[in-house]
């Protein structure tokens, strides 16, 4: 970060992305303040891992971004803020839309208000989602093998920031609202910020669910020979981005904040890192040499059949391009997941032996 004298605040810092970013910045000597309520599975493990390696530069606040007073006090100390804390599951947003709104919208407003009132406002980087573009029903598709392909060449480079916003599901509405609030605070109050509308991110310290973090989720299931449910026909396509490439993008957006301020960017692996659900499962099965049973369930409401990021806008401003291809990224994730499962099994054996 540009100002190494002031700490970097990471909300949701014990989550998958937050843990990886914190570790990268701590390795470079930055002081980090993590804000997390530890509600997500695996967050306590991630936090312990960070403490074991970097406790001298790490401060942790176990609190909720909906606590406006605490957030105000924390933001006062920040040189840069990465806002990752969120309710991230579409299914949970449908079950409890009020909770989803309070976390994703009200929590974000607390952060924005704290920055707006600051004498020295820190630069804010917010992780939004491709769900702000809705189902993308206007993108006509054709089936080819195990995946869908766009009929028009216009979409072969991916979906860009000029695509019409179309919030669907309570989750899409709440994340989209936060996305738009941040861009409007840039215009109205000169709050310095950029928004990343991200596709699927994967890598170490991701535990994953059927809803979110599905690459890691599938890998955990396959290694443990557990059945997998596919929603839809499995031919839906996403571009996946390895975590190290995302971390590089985070550093570049801060380095180029004068040019990136006030902008939203689609961020993902792009066309060269696109893969269907079925293709991904086959790739993971090859790595694991295991073939657990697959079953199919109805499509989820609003699910995109095809989403690939066009990252040319961010590339033009910063020079960023993904460098880790799918094969390399999956191999790295496989090594981490295998080691994690082995360590967990060893711990269980030790506990039973004592």
String of DSSP letters for 127-193 = EEEGGGGTT-TTS-EEEETTEEEESSGGGTT-B-TTSPP---HHHHHHHHHHHHHHHHHHHHH---E
Give me the catalytic one of 171, 185, 217, 307: 171
Q: How far is 63 from 77, CA to CA, in rounded Å? A: 16
288: left (phi over 0), alpha (psi -120 to 50) or beta: alpha
171 is catalytic: yes
Q: What is the sign, positive or negative, of the torsion defined by CA atoms of 71, 74, 75, 81?
A: negative
Sign of the alpha-carbon dihedral angle for 51, 52, 53, 56: positive
> DSSP class of residue 261?
T
Cβ 185 vs Cβ 113: under 8 Å: no
- Per DSSP, helices labelled H in the chain are 16-27, 43-54, 68-75, 90-95, 97-101, 107-116, 169-189, 214-223, 243-255, 257-260, 277-288, 312-318, 326-353
Which residues are catalytic, by number? 171
């Amino acid at each position: 970060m540009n100002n190494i004298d002031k700490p970097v605040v990471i909300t949701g810092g014990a989550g998958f992305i937050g843990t990886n970013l914190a570790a990268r910045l701590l390795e470079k000597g930055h002081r980090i303040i993590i804000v997390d309520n530890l509600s997500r599975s695996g967050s306590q493990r991630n936090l312990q891992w960070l403490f074991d390696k970097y406790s001298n530069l790490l401060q942790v606040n176990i609190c909720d971004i909906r606590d406006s007073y605490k957030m105000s006090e924390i933001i006062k100390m920040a040189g840069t803020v990465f806002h990752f804390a969120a309710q991230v599951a579409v299914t949970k947003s449908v079950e409890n839309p009020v909770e989803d709104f309070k976390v994703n919208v009200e929590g974000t407003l607390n952060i924005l208000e704290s920055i707006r009132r600051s004498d020295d406002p820190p630069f804010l980087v917010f992780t939004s989602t491709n769900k702000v573009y809705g189902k993308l029903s206007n993108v006509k598709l054709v089936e080819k093998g195990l995946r869908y392909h766009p009929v028009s060449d216009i979409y072969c480079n991916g979906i860009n920031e000029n695509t019409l916003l179309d919030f669907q599901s309570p989750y899409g509405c709440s994340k989209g609202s936060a996305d738009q609030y941040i861009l409007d605070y840039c215009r109205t109050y000169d709050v310095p910020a950029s928004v990343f509308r991200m596709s699927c991110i994967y890598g170490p310290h991701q535990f994953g669910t059927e809803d979110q973090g599905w690459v890691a989720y599938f890998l955990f299931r396959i290694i443990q020979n557990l059945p997998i449910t596919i929603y839809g026909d499995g031919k839906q396509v996403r571009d996946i981005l390895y975590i190290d490439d995302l971390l590089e993008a985070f550093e570049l957006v801060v380095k180029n904040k004068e040019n990136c301020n006030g902008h939203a960017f689609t961020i993902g692996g792009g066309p060269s890192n696109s893969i269907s659900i079925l293709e991904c499962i086959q790739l993971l099965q090859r790595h694991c040499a295991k073939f657990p049973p697959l079953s199919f369930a109805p499509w989820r409401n609003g699910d995109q059949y095809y989403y690939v990021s066009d990252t040319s806008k961010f590339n033009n401003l910063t020079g960023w391009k993904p460098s880790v291809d799918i094969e390399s990224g999956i191999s790295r994730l496989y090594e981490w997941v295998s080691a994690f499962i082995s360590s967990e099994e060893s711990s269980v054996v030790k506990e039973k032996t004592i």
